[in-house]
Amino acid sequence: MVKADQARTEAVAGEPVLAMRNVSFGYRRQLLLYDISLAIKAGEMVGLLGPNGSGKTTLLRLLSGILQPQQGQILLQGRALEQWGRRGVARRIAVVPQEFHVPFAFTVEQMVNLGRTPFISSFFGSPGKDDQAMVQDAMHAAGISSLADRIFNELSGGERQRVMIAMALAQQPLVLLLDEPTSHLDIKYQIETLELVKRLNRERGVTVVAAMHDLNLAARYFPRLLLFQRGIVADAGPAEVLEPGLLSRVYGTSVQVGILRGAEHLSVLPSANNERSEAQEEHSQARVHVMAGGGSGELAMRALADARIPFIAGALNVGDSDHTLALRLASEVITEQPYAPIAPATLEQVRSSLARVAILVLCPAPIGPGNLALLQEAVHASRRGLLVVVLAAGEHTQIDDKEEKFDLAALDYTGGEGKKLLEQLLQAGAMVVGSVGEALETVKRGIDSKKRL
Amino acid sequence: MKLATRMAQPEQRRGERRRWLFAPLAIPLLCLLLLVVIVLAVSFGSTAIPLGTIVQILLNGTGLFHFARQWDPSAELIVWQVRMPTVVGSALVGAGLAVAGVIFQGMLRNPLADPFLIGTSSGAALGAVIAFILPFDTIYGSLFSLTPVLAFAGAITTVFFVYAVARTDGHTPVVTLLLAGVVVNAVVVALQTLILTISPHAQFGLQGLFNWLSGGIAVTSWPPILIVGVVIVSGIICSFSFSSVLDALTLGEEGAAHLGLHVERSKLMLIAIASVITASAVSISGLIGFVGLVTPHVIRLLLGPGHRLLLPTSALGGAIFLVLADLLGRVVIAPAVLPVGIFTALVGAPFFLFLLRNSKREYRW
């Protein structure tokens, strides 16, 4: 049985066993996950990271078919999840939840037997010899054969975790989804549990996707990490994802990342309180504000980051590619709900940021009714004497007055109001630059002159 | 480490075997016990009939045996037409309520759940009250008087209403279901009191109504027993097919869904089966408490929580329990008959507490 299972896994190796295509999901009105695309290959071991409420558990529930996405598609072996049917999904995806509360005194063996449910006819079906063998095999693999007759509820947390994993194994899954498998355990059982998962991944080729709250354990056990903040902020190996600035912004607290003496993997530690963290320093030093959106700020933000000029970005909608990039590059990101117009509270954040910085870089984002208010803020700030650099749209490097005005108008989707505001901005002394390089020069000069003052 | 595992192995095997040996024996043993209890129950009553005669009469009745008739013909009449319907009715009601109790406790994952939890009892009582104050009976009065018909209808309607109230966005959360059940119960009981208070007919039927509400197998003819029996027995057999579903549901709804279950569909079917069983039982017996609550707990203490075994053994256990309670009700202050409900609580509760305190394993929820 196990060998057949492996063959099943190998047959599809190379193509993703589980994939999400532009999946969005929200409870009631609040959008929780936005436009997620993701491919998980057979045999991979993927850790999901993100602060509480970032949507890790929701993502797992989407992958297991408990929740249906409002938009997009989830594919299991190249076929939409709904088409497999509940039973078909349960034969391929097993879920280990954070904790089971079982109201009856089931024995361990009875619990593991439940894992065979999707393979047994639900009407008067009873487990056959194959099922019995699978159950024994699963208990053996999880190292709980000696517990078979114990009552599940009377076991310790670590033992229960093993029983739940054995139960999932009895489903002969291609994919094992684990929801914070170590959150209730002390350190010995945390390691034991993850070693078990890793062994199953290596020996049986089970694809593993686990939501992890412990960054250190994630770094140690998962070769691929996905960092979540409503959308996927980073998708790479530990070295790239566990970057202090990125973690600080996503988790909202400053951290240090390093390699402890004698260890082979990265460690993440919260910064001591009395030390001024890198992030906080950046924050106080940031003298540039970038307004972007729809990918218009990409080049400018990368250029600023390369030049090691700290900047504040926003307000940006969750799911905007500029937002994802800003989370990686900017020292502070002012965030707005997906698709939502700029709310007054967010606008207040922008206003206070504009009061702090020396320069505003306005990227050629399309102007719609939703972000018109931002432009108004820019005009106010400019009239107060803030240096505003307007990055002109397109590839035009040759600027004469008329052409540039034409360009600005082309970005306006508000029926004239946006154009009017842009004109006011120019009247108030905003500089128009044609290229990112030029903008960077202007920013550098601007910072220097302000410093001299 | 290896040594320890090896040493633990034989003991575990033995435990497993014991469980397997005991389980297949449980059902035949309980069947035998039920037969004994039924014969015993038939032999007691206002006219003394020797036990041997009863056995002979009953065996004659099966058509497989023929004993020469050496008894008074009235004895045969008493056994078949007076005592057997009551005893068989008790057994059916006991089995039905116990199975409904297993279903509700398993599905709602709540130790306090009983068959009356989501409105069957109050709905049936309201139906009965209406039947008692109405000045007429059904045209089928000889087969089914108005009381069981309205009690059945009241129970089913109330459960349907509770389910509809609890359902939001295609889901029926267990907590909402429980709360809706409690609230609707309260409203229906209030309605029942209101009707009794303002109805001019109330005084006449009050004693009869009181007896009905306390529970007692009042049916003394075969046809209603047969009809109710067919419904209850087919309901119980249906419930057996849900034993793996009930097992999976003990993991919670999400856990069950991960095992490939259509949770909402299963819940609806289970509620329907349990409610139909309960409503039919209640329609011939009135409100008999405690059987549906305690029988499943007792069986679980003795045989473990697996529903494949729990459902049939609970059915047999509930039948035995209620036949015995009915017997006690007829014997204790004979010739007067006490309501069955009194004995289900008076005998059942101490027995349950005894088991609970003496069980080797801590009985956890």
pLDDT at A304: 84
> How confident is the model over A233-260, as a mean pLDDT?
80
CATH code, residues A286-452: 3.40.50.720
Measured between CB atoms, does A29 come within 8 Å of chain B? no
pTM of the model: 0.77
Cα B33 to the chain's mean position, in Å?
17
SS3 A232: strand
Q: Considering CB atoms only, which of A102, A118, A149 is closest to B16?
A: A149
CA distance A18 to chain B (A): 16
Q: Is residue B363 part of a domain?
A: no
Residue B364 sits at the vertex; the CA angle it makes with B361 and B365, to the nearest 5 degrees, is 155
Report how far residue A414's alpha carbon sits from residue A127's, in angstroms, rounded to the nearest whole number: 66
Most confident option among A44-48, A352-356, B206-210, B356-360 = A44-48
- pLDDT at residue A170 is higher than 90: yes
Q: Is residue B302 part of a domain?
A: yes
Residue B191 maps to which CATH number? 1.10.3470.10
| Sequence-separated contacts (24+) of B141-146 with Cβ below 8 Å | B143/B223, B143/B224, B144/B224, B144/B227
Helix B174-198 vs helix B202-214: angle between axes, to the nearest 10 degrees? 150
* Residue A414 DSSP label: S
For the segment B2-17, what is each residue's pLDDT rounded down to a tens digit? 444 333 344 444 344 3
- For residue A48, the surrounding DSSP H or E stretch is strand A45-49
Measured between CB atoms, does B182 come within 8 Å of chain A? no
Strands in A30-41's sheet, in edge-to-edge order, are: A30-41, A16-27, A71-76, A79-80
Q: What percent of chain A has pLDDT over 70?
A: 86
Measured between CB atoms, does B241 come within 8 Å of chain A? yes
Selected residue with higher pLDDT from B128 and B143: B128
Across the interface, whether the CB atoms of A100 and B308 are under 8 A apart is answered no
Measured between CB atoms, does B265 come within 8 Å of chain A? no
Across the interface, whether the CB atoms of B300 and A110 are under 8 A apart is answered no
Measured between CB atoms, does A64 come within 8 Å of chain B? yes
Selected residue with higher pLDDT from A178 and B210: A178
- pLDDT at residue A242 is higher than 80: yes
CATH topology of domain A2-242: Rossmann fold (3.40.50)
Q: Considering CB atoms only, which of A66, A104, A122 is closest to B300?
A: A104
Structure tokens at A224: 């691929």
The range of the structural domain enclosing residue B115 comes to 2-358
Nearest to A76 by CA among A96, A94, A53: A94
Mean of the per-residue pLDDT values for chain A?
Answer: 81
- pLDDT at residue A143 is higher than 80: yes
Measured between CB atoms, does B255 come within 8 Å of chain A? yes
Query: What's the number of CA atoms in the CB half-sphere (13 Å) around residue A408?
Result: 25
Report how far residue A92's alpha carbon sits from residue A59's, in angstroms, rounded to the nearest whole number: 17
pLDDT at A124: 67
**Cβ contacts of residue B289 below 8 Å, gap of 6+?**
B114, B116, B215, B341, B344, B345
Q: Letter for the amino acid at A408? A: L
- pLDDT at residue B319 is higher than 50: yes
Q: Are A161 and A181 in contact (CB under 8 A)?
A: yes
Helices (H) and strands (E) counted in chain A, each on its own, are 18, 18
Structure tokens at B101: 């109790």
Mean of the per-residue pLDDT values for chain B?
Answer: 82
Could you check whether A2-242 and A286-452 share the same CATH topology? yes
For an interface test with A, give the residue of B244, B264, B355 to mutate (most A CBs within 10 A).
Answer: B244
Q: Considering CB atoms only, which of A102, A148, A151 is closest to B251?
A: A102
Report how far residue B247's alpha carbon sits from residue B267's, in angstroms, rounded to the nearest whole number: 13
Label residue B205 by pLDDT band (50, 70, 90): low
Residues 19-38 of B with CB under 8 A from A: 19
Domain positions in chain A are 2-242, 286-452
pLDDT at A210: 94
For residues A194-205, one letter each, b for 16 or more C-beta atoms within 10 angstroms of the residue's C-beta and e for the rest, the string is bebbeebbeebb
Across the interface, whether the CB atoms of A117 and B109 are under 8 A apart is answered no
Label residue A2 by pLDDT band (50, 70, 90): very low
For the segment A173-214, what is each residue's pLDDT rounded down to a tens digit? 999 999 988 888 888 889 999 999 999 999 999 999 999 988
Cα-based distances in Å from A300 to A281, A322, A381, A393: 22, 11, 20, 12
- pLDDT at residue B315 is higher than 90: yes
pLDDT at B143: 56
pLDDT at A266: 78
Number of neighbouring beta carbons within 10 Å of residue B214? 16
Label residue A14 by pLDDT band (50, 70, 90): low
β-pair partners for A291: A362
CA distance B293 to chain A (A): 15
Across the interface, whether the CB atoms of B259 and A107 are under 8 A apart is answered no
Question: Across A253-394, where does the E strand assignment appear?
Answer: 255-259, 266-270, 288-291, 311-317, 332-336, 359-362, 387-391
Label residue A273 by pLDDT band (50, 70, 90): low
Report how far residue A135's alpha carbon sits from residue A116's, in angstroms, rounded to the nearest whole number: 8
> How confident is the model over B278-307, as a mean pLDDT?
87
SS3 A389: strand
Selected residue with higher pLDDT from B34 and A126: B34
Q: Is residue B119 part of a domain?
A: yes
Q: Which residues of A fall within a CB distance of 8 Å from B247?
A: 110, 114, 117
Number of domains, chain B: 1
Q: Considering CB atoms only, which of B12, B250, B362 is closest to A102?
A: B250
Measured between CB atoms, does B264 come within 8 Å of chain A? no
Measured between CB atoms, does B304 come within 8 Å of chain A? yes
CA distance A15 to chain B (A): 24
Measured between CB atoms, does B262 come within 8 Å of chain A? yes
Q: Are A244 and A256 in contact (CB under 8 A)?
A: yes
DSSP-derived pairing of the beta strands A266-270 and A255-259: antiparallel
Across the interface, whether the CB atoms of A106 and B306 are under 8 A apart is answered yes
Q: Considering CB atoms only, which of A102, A109, A146 is closest to B9?
A: A146
Measured between CB atoms, does B74 come within 8 Å of chain A? no
Measured between CB atoms, does B8 come within 8 Å of chain A? yes
Q: Considering CB atoms only, which of B110, B259, B363 is closest to A118?
A: B259
Report how far residue A405's alpha carbon sits from residue A283's, in angstroms, rounded to the nearest whole number: 34
Q: Considering CB atoms only, which of A61, A103, A120 is closest to B365?
A: A103
